[in-house]
Structure 1
Amino acid sequence: MIRKRSLMRRTAVVAAAGAAALVLAACGGSGGDDGSAGHGGHAATAPSSAPSSSASASASASASASQGQHNAADVAFAKGMIPHHRQAVEMADLAPGRARSAEVKKLAADIKKAQDPEIRTLSGWLTSWGEDVPAEGAMDHSSHDMGGMMTAEEMTGLENASGKAFDTAFTELMIKHHEGAVEMARTEQADGAHGPARKMAGEIIDSQSAEIEQMNALLGKD
Structure 2
Amino acid sequence: MKVLIIEDDIQLNTTVSDFLRDNGYEVTSLYDGEDGINEIDLIEYNLYIIDINIPNINGLDIVKYIRQKDLFSPIIMITASMELENIKTAFGSGCSEYIKKPFYLEELEIRINNILKKQNEAPIIRISDTINYDTEYEELKIDGEVVKLRKKERRLLTLFLLNINKTVTFEKIENYVWENEIKEQYPLRQLIFDLRKKFNTGENFIFNINGLGYRFETKI
Query: TM exceeds 0.5?
Result: no
Greater per-residue strand proportion: 2
TM normalised by structure 2 equals 0.23
Rg: which structure is higher? 1
TM normalised by structure 1 equals 0.23
Greater per-residue helix proportion: 1
- Tell me: higher relative CO, structure 1 or 2? Use CA pairs within 8 A at least 6 residues apart: 1
